[in-house]
Amino acid sequence: MKRIVILGAGTAGTIMANHLNHEIDKESWEIDVIDHRQEHYYQPGYLFLPFDIYEPEDIVKHIKDFIPKGVNLINDKAEKILAGEKKVLMQNGDLIHYDILIIATGCNIAPEEVEGMNGKEWRNSVFDFYTFEGSLALRDKLRKWEGGKLVVHITEMPIKCPVAPLEFSFLADSYFKNKKMRDKVDITYVTPLSGAFTKPKATETLSHLLVEKNINQVNDFGIKKVDNENKKIIDYEGREVSFDLLVTVPTNKGDALIERSGLGDDLNFVPTNKATLQSLEHPDIFVLGDATNIPASKAGSVTHFEAEILTENILRYVKGEPLKEEFDGHANCFLETGNGKALLIDFNYTHEPVEGTFPFPGIGPLRLLKESRMNHMGKLAFRWIYWHMLLKGTHIPFVSTTMQMEGKHF
Amino acid sequence: MEKIISGKTINVNEEGYLTGFSQWDKTIATEIAKEEGITELGPRHWQIIDYLQDQHKKEIPLSIRKIGKSGVVDIEEFYALFPQGPLKKATKIAGLPKPASCI
Ligand SMILES: Cc1cc2nc3c(=O)[nH]c(=O)nc-3n(C[C@H](O)[C@H](O)[C@H](O)COP(=O)(O)OP(=O)(O)OC[C@H]3O[C@@H](n4cnc5c(N)ncnc54)[C@H](O)[C@@H]3O)c2cc1C
């Protein structure tokens, strides 16, 4: 018996377990999935939790409910990958041999990377919404907050779901309007980028929305430290932004396991071939989801497209065939703009998000890069699709793995 | 798209990054620097430009964090030399593509 080990049972690991369970010859292959957690978190829900749009139970389920029969779930933390020996050392001391390893350990926030960020104001007036605990603590804070300066901040790129901080700002605007206290809140969006988003056309649309919603923008802000005493963030050029409530997205890093195993770059992301998803260093290691260093968005939708191509490549690898260089960086994200509306953006490595129709060229029904209620329904439906289709590896109807060019206004 | 800098025609993308390094030279660097609000490139600027070009040649992805740890320049000085978005400015001046860490 040969063995495929999947490290991590989040979005990527769960989809791969389901795909491989269908596709691989079970007479000769065993599939193991390793995760120390019991719960699977629907991370896109962290955006809605602070505003009382979702409840915690909407976004947390048991990992084991999504791992198919026929796949072994090992409930322990991986300590170290011994790539030379094809083994994974577990926290309990077990050594697990693999023939193929799939790294799907995701990424996490690392507030300790910035001086003062997790100082005495952490979860007091400095919050994150990229963790379940952070998002929940922020909900409790917002419920009783009486207003003042709200600063929404990105520390450095890359971060998962790079549009989430913008969405947070838009939803905050709606939230305070609904609470009839928007006049008591001053919202500022602070980013290390030169504009609202990373790609020019979407930046134009999004900057316009920021202005329309009366959200101030501070660009090119390379944070040096959080001053807890005076409640300010300060950048390397000495610029200061003061806050009463800071909602920051700290540096995102791959799991410390990657660092211990000597497999990552300086942010613990694993150097990966961006078209095949094979590790650049070890041919028997494959990587997908937020754990890679590829220049695509770190998003569940991207992970879903990656998984379809990776499954095919693993089948090819097993047969000794050349890998398909097919992944194009395809991302397809709904972006909440507040007041029950959303935008939809669709892009890849080479094509930035543009206007058009989706998924049917010329028809839609979804409009790209335009605010609509239909897109908002799409975003809310994504949670259902996530739990019932995406994790199970079901192909989502009409949505192609690589990006489609028709119906788009380049 | 084409652009004329000190009498030479060069090709740049819509954000002003050179599309091919072969067209780069020091005069072009100096002119792009002026457009970016850096009136004069001193020895420290050139050292950093050299370093970035060398890293790029070795296909090592560039990030502010890595440059800060390189021993060539610390983050504070990097910002002082290339204010407001040092990496995206320095790479543009050095004739390199916009780094993925700025995307
Ligand atoms: C606020 C927010 C909003 C988002 N919104 C969207 C959205 O609207 N649309 C979208 O497509 N995406 C969105 N995302 C991104 C999406 O959630 C992630 O891209 C996706 O979950 C990545 O999947 P992954 O499997 O790579 O990582 P994860 O799902 O994070 O899974 C990693 C797993 O690995 C396990 N693990 C890590 N280290 C070890 C170890 N040493 N031993 C054992 N197990 C380990 C962890 O316990 C975890 O279960 C959002 C993310 C956030 C934070």
Higher pLDDT, A130 or B6: A130
- Distance from C-alpha of A31 to C-alpha of B49, rounded to nearest angstrom: 49
Amino acid A375: pLDDT: 92
| Domain definitions of chain B by residue range | 2-93
If one residue of A43, A67, A252 were mutated to test the ligand 1 pocket, choosing by the most ligand atoms within 8 A of its CB, it would be: A43
In this prediction, does ipTM exceed 0.85? no
Contact yes or no for A194 and B85 at CB 8 A: yes
- In this prediction, what percent of chain A has a pLDDT beyond 90? 84
- Scanning A153-172 for CB atoms below 8 A from B yields 156-158
Entry field: residues in chain A: 410
Active site residue B47: no
pLDDT digits (tens, 9 = 90+) for B39-52: 999 999 999 999 99
Least confident of A40-44, A57-61, A356-360: A356-360
Distance from CA of B7 to the nearest CA of A (A): 29
Task: Give per-residue burial for A262-280: e unless 16+ CB within 10 Å, then b.
Answer: ebbbebbbbbbbbbbbbbe
Size of interface A-B (CB pairs under 8 A): 42
Q: Looking at the predicted structure, is the pLDDT value of residue A195 above 70? A: yes
**Centre of ligand 1 from the C-alpha of residue A305, in Å:** 15
Residue B7's pLDDT band (cuts 50, 70, 90): confident
pLDDT digits (tens, 9 = 90+) for B11-26: 999 889 999 999 999 9
Q: What is the DSSP letter of A399?
A: -
Mean pLDDT on A335-361: 89
Q: Looking at the predicted structure, is the pLDDT value of residue A402 above 90? A: no
- Is any ligand 1 atom within 6 A of the Cβ of residue A205? no
Mean pLDDT on A352-373: 86
Please report the domains of chain A, with CATH numbers, ordered by start residue: 2-106+255-319 (3.50.50.60), 110-251 (3.50.50.60), 331-390 (no CATH)
- In this prediction, what percent of chain B has a pLDDT beyond 90? 68
Q: Which residue in the set B80, B83, B103 is minimally distant from A198, CB to CB?
A: B103
pLDDT digits (tens, 9 = 90+) for A92-113: 999 999 999 999 999 999 999 9
Mean pLDDT on A3-19: 98
Residue B6's pLDDT band (cuts 50, 70, 90): confident
- Is any ligand 1 atom within 6 A of the Cβ of residue A106? yes
Q: Looking at the predicted structure, is the pLDDT value of residue B103 above 60? A: no
Residue B101's pLDDT band (cuts 50, 70, 90): low
Q: Looking at the predicted structure, is the pLDDT value of residue B60 above 90? A: no
Amino acid A318: pLDDT: 97
**Centre of ligand 1 from the C-alpha of residue A131, in Å:** 10
Mean pLDDT on A56-85: 97
Q: Among residues A56, A4, A61, A59, which one has the least CA distance to residue A37? A: A61
Higher pLDDT, A359 or A317: A317
Q: Looking at the predicted structure, is the pLDDT value of residue A258 above 90? A: yes
Q: Among residues A396, A374, A380, A388, which one has the least CA distance to residue A45? A: A380
Residues in chain A with CB shorter than 8 Å from the CB of B15 are 200
Amino acid B1: pLDDT: 87
Distance from CA of A236 to the nearest CA of B (A): 6
Please give the mean pLDDT across all residues of chain A.
95
Q: 3-state class of B9 per DSSP?
A: strand
Contact yes or no for A220 and B85 at CB 8 A: yes
Please give the mean pLDDT across all residues of chain B.
90
Q: Exactly one of B3, B66, B79, B102 is catalytic; which is it? A: B102
Higher pLDDT, A156 or A198: A156
Amino acid B102: pLDDT: 55
Chain A residue with Cα closest to B65 = A266
**Centre of ligand 1 from the C-alpha of residue A268, in Å:** 15
Q: Which residue in the set B75, B83, B102 is minimally distant from A157, CB to CB?
A: B102
Ordered DSSP codes for A94-161: -EEE-SEEEE---EEE-GGGSBTTTSTTBTTTEE-SSSHHHHHHHHHHHHH---EEEEEEE-SS--BS
**Ligand 1 atom with least separation from CA of A299:** 19
Contact B93, B36 (CB under 8 A): yes
Q: Looking at the predicted structure, is the pLDDT value of residue A244 above 90? A: yes
- In this prediction, what percent of chain B has a pLDDT beyond 70? 96
Residue nearest (by alpha carbon) to ligand 1 atom 11: A300
pLDDT digits (tens, 9 = 90+) for A358-368: 888 888 888 88
